[in-house]
Structure 1
Amino acid sequence: MPYLPARAVATLRLLFATLLLAPLAAQAQAEPDGDNSQSPYFSVHSDDPANDRLPLKSTQVRARVLGVIADVTVTQHYRNEGSRPLEAQYVFPASTRAAVYAMQVRIGERQLNASIREKQQAKQEYEAGKLAGKTSALLEQHRENVFQMNVANILPGDEVAVELHYTELLVPTDGVYRFVFPTVVGPRYNGALATGSGTAEPWIATPYQCTAATTDAVGAAAIDESAPVFDLQVQLATPTPVRELVSPSHAIDIDKGADNQSRVRLAAATTIANDRDFILDYRLAGDRIESGLLLSKGSEENFFLALVAPPKAAPSQLIVPREYLFVVDISGSMHGFPLDTAKVLLQRLLAGLRPSDRFNVMLFSGSSSLLAPDSQPANADNIARALTLLDTEMGSGGTELLPALRQALAVPGDQERARSFVVITDGFVTVERDAFELVRKHLDQANLFAFGIGSSVNRQLIEGLARAGQGEPFVVLDKASAAEQAERFRRMIDAPLLTHVQARFEGLDTYEVEPPALPDLFAQRPLVLFGKWRGEAKGRLLIEGQQAGGAYRVELPIRADQAQAENQALALLWARHRVASLTDQETLEGDFAYSQAILDLGLKYHLLTPYTSFVAVDEVVRTAPGTSPAATPQPLPLPQGVSPLAVSPLTVGAAVPSTPEPSTWAMLLIAALGGLLLHRRGPRGAGGTV
């Protein structure tokens, strides 16, 4: 085949870019008409000077980490630089383990303390305050890691600060403690309701801002001066000196103080910082995970938190033949950097298979395909075939996760082998609960391990799939971490650290212990128990199980002097874990069997849940009653490394987001290439060389 000269290559690149971006450009000219669209869309700055389209001006994060508990304050600053009242709408993420327990609203010198309400009641109070002309704020939970803030009647020139407080538990893995602060919700694929691959939730139509910012190979966007300021600091206090303190996601400045204290701040940067999760990793001197028991004594209830160090990994005494089915997302949101990372990850995972293992690979987007009808021997030829199959994919189409999981679970298995499913995706879907239910109903078939790819993965899906499949979650930030995570997977799959785990208290009267049953332990991570206790603090906690070398047993003594007065964090962490357990059970059994129990927990412990919301309404009437402020959805940046193909290129208002399937792109590119080649072979005498 003759080579393509530079000008032809440039033409082809331009044509390819035009094919990709033309639908987006057409879309950017359209304004959203109400709630007809359930897919993300690009937002452009309004030419109407009366309407400030970017009311969120900054987000400030202050985290205090004491031992294994983080307490975080997030302050969102809104300012109306237009000339008419606004209602700001902002969808934002949070940690999957966050227990959100308070919200305050500051308007000038006035401060409003938000109240926790049943979700519909909170919505009614908010709407009533909005129509009455009062500044009002509403915080709702759409997913355990996706929240929405609405702030109504922000007058021209107003500055409104909304402050959120949450706490979470930091559990070390392989000796590494990790604090994660998510900054942006990735765009969600929302398929047709009839196929079960979508939901009718308005928050999914969150706009994504298309700026003129340039991007490099991994999608690091230059700072847009109109974008909200992101400021984050972490105050770290540890029981022993910190041996290593790094951020794999951001450039940071570290100030080390006395008494094992450190302060971490974002370093000055030339790229935006709020388009990816902020991640802070630290190790303590010695790398040893200590067992411990915290007791809290309250006026009405007492709580405990136990962390029990895992056994050291022992060499596997018996190598069990295994079968793996890799389910790989090749949809539009995986285009470019995420799919390139997934290819490296799969290469590493396949390289770790033993000759006695068997495997299969499923690729899915709007449809799915298998490497072979049944699992194949893990030899060099079959591994090469699998990698070639994936290497031809560029990433396009919808993310039809449920049909792919159903097809994968239906693939016949080898009864003589231990079976594992490995899902590789960014998780940008809306059908998390359906996926969890599907996996739980097939627990008798295999374990499931989930790998999240990218800088802002849907951690609820990744962690939930692994929890439902009694496996482990992994997050692969980039190609460099693919090898590390693949090696982690290989180590833990060889043999679980601990199986048939049981916990019991002797001498201490405990109840409502979470989790009700302890799962097998694959990673070097402590076993965690929450619960309530009554009576005298005495006795011991016994943990027993089986490890590769035989029986395992550890004992933690309980003393009266361990009980602290009114440790609010333990109550919140227990309630948050209880809500998560009930939500999982509700998903498994269907309907809303545990909605009242979840609601009661949210109201009693002042927690944000699927059935409770925070609401604050000012007493001062600030606009003419009966008038509605201009609704202004705050556009979000696309997560770092995520292609514009993740956002529907259809005109806003369409019901089902979609991107062309690979065959469509192939036809367009082949046609373009053919045209260039015909032009290359044209008469040379008249036009010379091309």
Structure 2
Amino acid sequence: MTMTCYHALRLLALLPLLLLLGNAEANESNTNKTLSPYFQVAGDDEALPLQETRAQVDIAGVIASVNIRQVYQNSGNDPIEAVYVFPGSTRAAVYAMTMTIGERRVTAKIKERQAAKAAYQQAKKAGKRASLLEQQRPNVFQMKVANIMPGDRVVVELAYSELIVPEQGVYEFVYPAVVGPRYSELPVYGASDSDQWIANPYLHQGEKAPYAFGVEVSLAAGLPIQSIMSPSHDVTVAYDDHGAAKIGLKSAGADNGNRDYVLRYRLRGEEIETGLLLHRGETENFFLLLAQPPERVVNAAIPPREYIFVVDVSGSMHGFPLDIGKKLMVELLSRLRPTDGFNILFFSGGSSLLAERPLPATENNIEKAIEMMESQRGGGGTRLLPALQRAMRQPAASGVSRSFVVVTDGYIAVETDVFDYVKRNLNNANFFAFGIGSGVNRFLIEGLARKAGAANPSSSRRRTKRCRPRNVSATISKLRC
């Protein structure tokens, strides 16, 4: 991506500089120097142009919208070009950038990398004020601002959004503030443009950033907030109501920018919580529905469940893969509750059922299922689609959460037909897939998880998730909850 972007701890003004590379390297030619970061000391008459970088963060539910404002000013006597390397979130989607000089406001355009660089160089040579944003790594950006004239005050604004994914009930927003120095053995001479940023100067521990740094967060959680804290900075928290708050920095010191800004918050989760956020746009209106699971799920809150296991016993499963499949089935069956219902459909070229109707998960029925599973030897073709169709025709009880669990190595040639069938039936059941063996057909297993969910965004991701139960061999390929 090439445009214009973010904030952090790097600045390079193209004026006479003293480069301190150490005695061993000071007299060497460029062909022997590497891209490892170096010191950069400005002359007495040079004014570093970055004055401040500030972020306004608006969090609505699980979506963070970040607006960054950077101010450059040349208080020296010569035109300069500022080159500024700064970090970004690996999950960010940059969608807007503007540059304001005096009364003139310019909106950036996204272009192919080489075309954008050529346009920037052309404007620079013509003496025009221009800016260029380049993504050097998924989490490293480089901003160039050309022809900052003496006395010029340039304001660059960048906007991006990202999704906040909670882990163990904790929501975390991170605003990166530091690009750590990279070790590199690449020579300066001949290094590609995308690697030249590595040789940027950097601040050392104890040095204060030569610009102001600030972050303000407006949080609209949509649900009652239990707690807010920052492990990285001293913050102030002002609650607007139970589900909204404003978070600021206690001090505006320059040292706020020498580490990443981390904000964590919890939502109340003793019971299932739901919330609705509304937004009125210029041409469209939007809503965001939120559902927070309880901290602990009690058995009484779990609805009646029914599992139909669709188990591959074809020739490709013979031996080791089927042995692993048997262990998996023992693990899954042993975790069913007595109030759950289940059935097993074994398939190869044809198919057979454990029972004509789902059975209650009693101890006797589970023993019967394990015995039938242990008797399988593996042989014949792999007709997964007819097996799914037969399993789906099983009579369904009313008021029951129904799930189909596919256990296979995936060695079929009609993957897309299976995907289409699952997509059409997402409203009738949940789907889970387990890949068995050392060479699983990942296109099928991952496609069941990914493509089915993408085809019906309104359906829960749990419908197509891949899980790995505990105490089962690692030969169950890439399965995680």
What are the within-5 Å matches in structure 2 for residues 462-477 of structure 1? none
Q: Identify the match of residue 89 of structure 1 among 83, 93, 99.
A: 83
Residue in 2 that maps onto 1:40: 37
Q: Is the 8 A contact 1:93 1:185 kept in 2?
A: yes
Say which SS state the counterpart of residue 274 (structure 1) adopts. helix
Q: Is the 8 A contact 1:307 1:528 kept in 2?
A: no
Report Cα offsets for 1:361-407 as digits up to 9, x if no partner: xxxxxxxxxxxxxxxxxxxxxxxxxxxxxxxxxxxxxxxxxxxxxxx
Residue in 1 that maps onto 2:152: 158
What are the within-5 Å matches in structure 2 for residues 184-223 of structure 1? 184-191=178-185, 201-209=195-203, 221=206, 223=208
Q: Aligned partners of 1:283 and 1:206: how far apart in 2?
A: 38
Report Cα offsets for 1:210-255 as digits up to 9, x if no partner: 5xxxxxxxx5x3646xx11001100000121111100001111111
The change in CA–CA distance for 1:538 and 1:504 in structure 2 (over 3 A counts) is: closer
Q: Is the 8 A contact 1:28 1:42 kept in 2?
A: no
Superposed displacement of residue 306, structure 1: 11
Q: Aligned partners of 1:256 and 1:310: how far apart in 2?
A: 23
Q: Aligned partners of 2:273 and 2:407: how far apart in 1?
A: 22
Higher normalized helix content (fraction of residues): 1
Superposed displacement of residue 258, structure 1: 2.5
The change in CA–CA distance for 1:107 and 1:531 in structure 2 (over 3 A counts) is: farther
The change in CA–CA distance for 1:538 and 1:250 in structure 2 (over 3 A counts) is: closer
2:162 maps to 1:243: no
Say which SS state the counterpart of residue 82 (structure 2) adopts. strand
Say which SS state the counterpart of residue 201 (structure 1) adopts. helix
Q: Is the 8 A contact 1:246 1:282 kept in 2?
A: yes
Q: Identify the match of residue 100 of structure 1 among 90, 94, 97.
A: 94
Q: Identify the match of residue 112 of structure 2 among 114, 118, 122.
A: 118
The change in CA–CA distance for 1:516 and 1:188 in structure 2 (over 3 A counts) is: farther
Q: Aligned partners of 2:28 and 2:236: how far apart in 1?
A: 42
Q: Aligned partners of 2:114 and 2:60: how far apart in 1?
A: 36
Superposed displacement of residue 266, structure 1: 1.1
Q: Is the 8 A contact 1:178 1:281 kept in 2?
A: yes
Relative contact order, higher structure (CA 8 A, sep 6+): 1
Say which SS state the counterpart of residue 463 (structure 2) adopts. strand
Superposed displacement of residue 542, structure 1: 2.8
1:40 partner amino acid: P
Residue in 2 that maps onto 1:138: 132
What are the within-5 Å matches in structure 2 for residues 483-522 of structure 1? 506=425
Residue in 1 that maps onto 2:463: 542
The change in CA–CA distance for 1:546 and 1:223 in structure 2 (over 3 A counts) is: closer
What are the within-5 Å matches in structure 2 for residues 524-673 of structure 1? 531=454, 542-543=463-464, 546=467, 548=469
Q: Identify the match of residue 255 of structure 1 among 238, 242, 259.
A: 238
Say which SS state the counterpart of residue 139 (structure 1) adopts. strand
Q: Aligned partners of 2:462 and 2:117: how far apart in 1?
A: 44
2:42 partner amino acid: H
Say which SS state the counterpart of residue 114 (structure 2) adopts. helix
Superposed displacement of residue 209, structure 1: 3.7
Q: Is the 8 A contact 1:243 1:283 kept in 2?
A: yes
Superposed displacement of residue 173, structure 1: 0.1
Q: Is the 8 A contact 2:79 2:149 kept in 1?
A: yes
Say which SS state the counterpart of residue 253 (structure 1) adopts. strand
Say which SS state the counterpart of residue 263 (structure 1) adopts. strand
Q: Is the 8 A contact 1:103 1:164 kept in 2?
A: yes
Superposed displacement of residue 65, structure 1: 0.1
2:113 partner amino acid: K
Report Cα offsets for 1:406-461 as digits up to 9, x if no partner: xxxxxxxxxxxxxxxxxxxxxxxxxxxxxxxxxxxxxxxxxxxxxxxxxxxxxxxx
Q: Identify the match of residue 59 of structure 1 among 42, 53, 71.
A: 53
Superposed displacement of residue 191, structure 1: 2.6
Q: Is the 8 A contact 1:61 1:74 kept in 2?
A: yes
Once superposed, what is the RMSD of the aligned Cα atoms?
A: 4.9
The change in CA–CA distance for 1:284 and 1:204 in structure 2 (over 3 A counts) is: same
Report Cα offsets for 1:543-593 as digits up to 9, x if no partner: 46556599xxxxxxxxxxxxxxxxxxxxxxxxxxxxxxxxxxxxxxxxxxx
TM-score normalised by structure 1 residue count = 0.39
Q: Aligned partners of 1:168 and 1:231: how far apart in 2?
A: 19
Q: Aligned partners of 2:406 and 2:426: how far apart in 1?
A: 25
Q: Is the 8 A contact 1:308 1:528 kept in 2?
A: no
Q: Aligned partners of 2:293 and 2:424: how far apart in 1?
A: 17
Q: Aligned partners of 2:255 and 2:29: how far apart in 1?
A: 26
Report Cα offsets for 1:512-538 as digits up to 9, x if no partner: xxx98887xxxxxxx99974669xx89
Q: Aligned partners of 1:117 and 1:68: how far apart in 2?
A: 30
Superposed displacement of residue 264, structure 1: 0.7
Identity level (%): 40
Segment drifting more, 167-176 vs 33-42: 33-42
Residue in 1 that maps onto 2:378: none
1:172 partner amino acid: P
Residue in 2 that maps onto 1:455: none
Say which SS state the counterpart of residue 184 (structure 1) adopts. coil
Q: Identify the match of residue 121 of structure 2 among 127, 139, 163.
A: 127
2:174 maps to 1:174: no
TM-score normalised by structure 2 residue count = 0.54
Q: Is the 8 A contact 1:305 1:528 kept in 2?
A: no
Q: Aligned partners of 2:219 and 2:443: how far apart in 1?
A: 32
The change in CA–CA distance for 1:250 and 1:241 in structure 2 (over 3 A counts) is: same
Q: Aligned partners of 1:262 and 1:153: how far apart in 2?
A: 41
Say which SS state the counterpart of residue 110 (structure 2) adopts. strand
Residue in 2 that maps onto 1:621: none
What are the within-5 Å matches in structure 2 for residues 372-411 of structure 1? none
The change in CA–CA distance for 1:152 and 1:260 in structure 2 (over 3 A counts) is: same
Say which SS state the counterpart of residue 87 (structure 1) adopts. strand
1:208 partner amino acid: Y
Q: Is the 8 A contact 2:164 2:171 kept in 1?
A: yes
Q: Give the number of equivalent residue pairs.
A: 311
Structure 1 regions of 5+ residues with no counterpart?
1-22, 211-218, 315-497, 509-514, 520-526, 551-690
Q: Aligned partners of 1:162 and 1:177: how far apart in 2?
A: 29
The change in CA–CA distance for 1:292 and 1:107 in structure 2 (over 3 A counts) is: same
2:141 partner amino acid: F
Residue in 2 that maps onto 1:284: 267
Residue in 1 that maps onto 2:67: 73
Structure 2 regions of 5+ residues with no counterpart?
1-19, 299-404, 409-418, 428-441, 472-481
Superposed displacement of residue 117, structure 1: 0.6
Q: Aligned partners of 2:123 and 2:291: how far apart in 1?
A: 45
The change in CA–CA distance for 1:206 and 1:244 in structure 2 (over 3 A counts) is: same
1:278 partner amino acid: Y
